[in-house]
Structure 1
């Protein structure tokens, strides 16, 4: 049987690689320094595998066919968007299949990928949490881009089933659960039903799979142009409230927000906190440490939370 040795939730941002601080005290510096501390703490935990729960930013999944949950079971490849690592990522295939079987027994028929493309939404937090050590991972990708999204309650239920599946995996191993996403940030709509999403942009959201590289080449300059604005909206009060809730095992107050209230408080990008709900529920452990820095220049409230001690 496998053992869950801890959970770490981490924000991600393209600008962590594109707009890193040049010196101490600049935006993002605290987040990057504390992510290094988490990586050191994870090294001490000695995980054999990492289950990484993260979103896709229209590099692998599009609205020609948008699954709520996709599990990678054999191969994974980093897309390399926004300066993130490109190329093969090691996959813990045996654990992946055990998770698949356990989720199915719990009533979750997740989509499977034998060759999953993962973007910075998985790769960045995976590398930060593990120090880039090449520990085999099982990637679980959630649709957090636009409705229809899995409900908050469904994400908690998935997390509980995921934790059970990991603990019942036949091979003994030490498993770290990592969630990647959030916290508050406001993004342009990616909903094909939105009347403001028209023309080539709408077509790319639906048909981008036909040439994902070409779609990314058009989209990335628009995202890059959002960087560096010290007045970009970030709801630091809400972000800190969210972190406080994770110091208990009761996710009810977050689930009770529902889709609309979550978006009102944390923005369209705030839907990525679904990954944290899955990971926190899987571990079944409260946070014991967190770090938070609002970084409007990165358009995001950058947070880290861990269920294990992190050295000062």
Structure 2
């Protein structure tokens, strides 16, 4: 029996959930978001995936400005950087499926980078920590560049999700595959356009992004201070509109949204919705179900969880 995609999850992430839970003033909102992660985990477990493709972003702890691919697939070892209380160390990778996906994407006209020794950060390991807790499943890490312009377009990300769907379904061995899109929603990070930094903090950030390979932790304390000092800029109107597209299966309409549109309307952190678009397209843009949306200003982010279940769209047999 060939592989099939059986479940999808879109989920926001924030390391402040780990490091500053006690200081979080919006405890009710934070708790509802955390509970939604646990509910999504239970629904994922019920779908019985063998492998989970985790589509996530890079926060300059696994990639640096010396080399930034638009898309990267981990096809061998995968090492979690372990920052801010997220998992650290090697993660189990479904190497045969990962290598098949990389080859199938190449054959289908995509040119993803691949890594036989990939380091990932909380852009994916937050999902490992909360959504894969207790699950016996391998992963396929897929990293999307969302913070170092020029960025892949939203249309290209949607096309990647469709190509990922075809690649998984062409895998000849039996696999139940889930896809997680980790990131977003609206938020603004105190991060510069690396091509045009202004002031000491922005110059520091760009230096960390350029020179951090092999030594990212020495920049982390000041990075954290800069982030904690940033004002919260969340756009619930944008977030509600996007989640409405998730719920109605209309996410393909985001193809027309440009990088500049997202930046202006929902902040540079909203560029992470590309990971949700890849996931939704891999699920065939089936209508989803929102489990939570909370604008948690203490975490600087519109925090959301949604699930996409393709079996829920099938008519029951007589």
TM-score, length-scaled by structure 2: 0.90
1:203 to 195, 203, 207: 207
Shift of 1:201: 3.2
- Cα offset, 1:219, TM superposition: 1.9
CA deviation after TM superposition for structure 1 residue 308, in Å: 2.8
Structural mapping, 1:140-289, within 5 Å: 140-196=142-198, 199-226=203-230, 232-289=232-289
Distance 1:129 1:152 in 2: 25
Distance 2:25 2:50 in 1: 35
Mark the runs of 5 or more structure 1 residues left unpaired by the alignment.
none
Q: Is the 8 Å Cα contact of residues 126 and 132 (structure 1) preserved in structure 2?
A: no
- Equivalent pairs, count: 305
Query: Taking structure 1 as reference, are residues 294 and 210 closer, same or farther at Cα in structure 2, changes over 3 Å only?
Result: same
Query: How big is the shift at 1:225?
Result: 4.2
Cα separation, 2, equivalents of 1:200 and 1:307:
40
Match of 1:293 in 2: 294
Q: How does 1:42-61 map to 2 (within 5 A)?
A: 42-61=44-63
The C-alpha deviation readout for 1:108-137, integer Å capped at 9, x for no partner, is 111111111111110111332223425200
CA RMSD in angstroms comes to 2.0
Deviations 1:166-205 (A, max 9, x none): 1111211100000000000011233221241654432222
Alignment partner of 1:10 is 2:11? yes
1:213: how far off? 2.4
Report the more deviating stretch, 79-88 or 128-137: 128-137
Flag the 1:188–1:33 CA change in 2: closer, same or farther, 3 A: same
Query: Which consecutive unaligned segments of at least 5 residues does structure 2 have?
Result: 311-318
Partner of 2:21: 20
Preserved contact between residue 59 and residue 216 of structure 1 (Cα < 8 Å): no
C-alpha distance after superposition, 1:140-161 (max 9, x if no partner):
0011113110001100111100
- CA distance, structure 2, for counterparts of residue 30 and residue 287 of structure 1: 22
> Which whole-Å CA distance do the structure 2 matches of 1:243 and 1:75 have between them?
34
Query: Structure 1 residues 213, 195: closer, same or farther in 2, change over 3 A?
Result: closer
Q: Is the 8 A contact 2:6 2:47 kept in 1?
A: yes
With over 3 angstroms needed to count, the CA separation of the structure-2 counterparts of 1:134 and 1:224, relative to structure 1, is: farther
Residues in 2 aligned to 1:285 and 1:77: alpha-carbon distance in whole angstroms:
31
CA–CA separation in structure 2 for the residues paired with 1:66 and 1:23:
36
Contact kept? 1:79, 1:117, Cα under 8 Å: yes
> What's the counterpart of residue 82 of structure 1?
84
Of residues 256-265 and 63-72 in structure 1, the stretch that sits farther from structure 2 once superposed is: 256-265
Q: 2 CA distance for matches of 1:125 and 1:207?
A: 27
Question: Structure 1: how far apart are the matches of 2:25 and 2:198?
Answer: 40
Cα distance in 2 for partners of 1:135, 1:224 equals 34
Task: Answer yes or no: is the 8 Å Cα contact 2:158–2:277 preserved in 1.
Answer: yes
- Which runs of structure 2 are paired with 1:34-113 in the superposition (5 Å)? 34-113=36-115
Moved more, 140-149 or 127-136: 127-136
